[in-house]
Chain A
Amino acid sequence: MIDRAFIGQSFAPLTVEVEAGRLRAFARATAQRDPIYSDTAAAQAAGYRNIPAPLTFLFTLDLERDDPFYFINEMKIDLARVLHGEQAFTYGAPICAGDQVTLISSVEDIYDKKGGAMEFVILKTSAQNQLGEDLGTMTRTIVVRNPS
């Protein structure tokens, strides 16, 4: 069982630069058809300061750590038993190439179902840019399949 004492715990903040090359690689890897997600001129023509990060990119930014599975490992969860259950985003100011984004994550809840056979961890992350603008939040729910 995951230690319920982790509920409410915050993890070390992460500040990361949004790299244009990374945004282009993400656009290619997801077969993005819209040029604003890979071409600076197209992005600026559409009103953005620079290439915008797509809707799910905050998730990628949070993986830019020495240990991308930091909260899973800190809670001593076996990665092989982890599934992604739900993912939600809310949006504030646009995130664009060149931005410095600071992410702060904390454990919202941990609970179990089916007599402990499945445990759920809800991690909420908020983000700000270098101007102090609110970039929105993301909330992920992971499911841990425990051995019977």
Chain B
Amino acid sequence: MSTAVNDLTYAGVAVGDTLPPLTQRAISRTTLALFAGASGDHNPIHIDIDFAKAAGMPDVFAHGMLNMAYLGHLVTAWVPQTAVREFSTRFVAITQIHAVVTCTGRVVEKHAGNLVTLEIQAADQHGDVKLAGQALVALP
């Protein structure tokens, strides 16, 4: 699988079109340790259960930016990254350890200038929304 797998065009995209969903492996403690190192976010609340408990949390939980990276994968599997103009999300709820996250998206608006707004979200295996965001992409 590579970028630009499809030949999307502005004319060929309609409001309501969906992006191919992307499901990730269950988030393990190893996932969080590796993401802490790779992302540089060493906040112990994501990797040290003693610190998390002292902060009043039942356990460590996923970095919001890990899920945002997953959402980014959803978008850049649909269009080349150079097509992306804006990308934002709200972190709606904490993503617990062992969650299985699925990212989904759909076209919600077409604008002048060949721009398309996507509504995107990341939800766990119970369907609970964790991230709710948008992306603005330019299509040929």
Question: Is A80 at the interface (CB under 8 A from chain B)?
Answer: yes
How many B residues have CB within 8 A of the partner chain?
44
Q: From DSSP, what is the main secondary structure of chain A's interface residues?
A: mixed
Question: Chain B contacts of A87 at CB under 8 A?
Answer: 64-65, 68, 88-89, 91
Chain B residues near A22 (CB-CB < 8 A) = 38
**CB-defined contacts of B90 to chain A, threshold 8 Å:** 85-86
Given A29-B31, A30-B35, A32-B73, residue A88 in contact with residue B86 (CB < 8 A): yes
Residues B31 and A63 in contact, CB atoms below 8 Å apart:
no
Q: How far is the CB of B80 from chain A (nearest CB, A)?
A: 7
Q: B42 near A: Cβ within 8 Å?
A: yes
B-contact 0/1 string along A76-114, CB 8 Å cutoff? 000111111111111100100000000000000000000
Whether A5 is near chain B, meaning CB under 8 Å from some CB there, is no
CA distance A85 to B137 in the complex (A): 23
Q: How far is the CA of A29 from the CA of B35 in the complex (A)?
A: 5
Interface string of B1-43 (1 = CB under 8 A from A): 1111000000000000000000011000001001101111111
Q: Are A55 and B89 interface neighbours, CB within 8 A?
A: no
A47 to B2 alpha-carbon distance, docked (Å): 12
Taking a contact as CB atoms under 8 Å apart, the answer to whether A30 and B64 are in contact is: no
Beta-carbon nearest neighbor of A35 in chain B: B2
- A134 CB to nearest chain B CB (Å): 13
Tell me if B77 and A86 are in contact (CB < 8 A).
no
Interface string of A7-49 (1 = CB under 8 A from B): 0000000000000001001101111111110000010001100
Q: Which one, B37, B45, B63, contacts A25 given CB within 8 A?
A: B37
B96 at interface (Cβ–Cβ under 8 A)? no
Which residues of chain A are within 8 angstroms of B25 by Cβ–Cβ distance? 31
Q: Are A56 and B69 in contact (CB under 8 A)?
A: yes
Q: How far is the CA of A90 from the CA of B135 in the complex (A)?
A: 10
B81 touches A55 (CB 8 A): yes
CB pair A29 B72 closer than 8 Å: no
A64 within 8 A of B: yes
Judge whether A88 and B38 touch: CB under 8 Å.
no
Q: How far is the CA of A30 from the CA of B1 in the complex (A)?
A: 16
18 cross-chain CB contacts under 8 A: A30-B35, A30-B69, A33-B77, A34-B76, A36-B2, A46-B3, A54-B73, A54-B81, A59-B65, A60-B40, A63-B39, A63-B40, A80-B55, A83-B94, A86-B90, A87-B65, A90-B86, A94-B82
> 12 additional contacts, CB 8 Å, given A55-B72, A86-B88?
A26-B69, A32-B73, A46-B80, A55-B84, A56-B69, A60-B41, A79-B43, A84-B91, A87-B68, A88-B86, A89-B86, A91-B86
Q: A residues engaging B (CB < 8 A)?
A: 22, 25-26, 28-36, 42, 46-47, 52, 54-56, 59-60, 63-64, 68-69, 79-91, 94
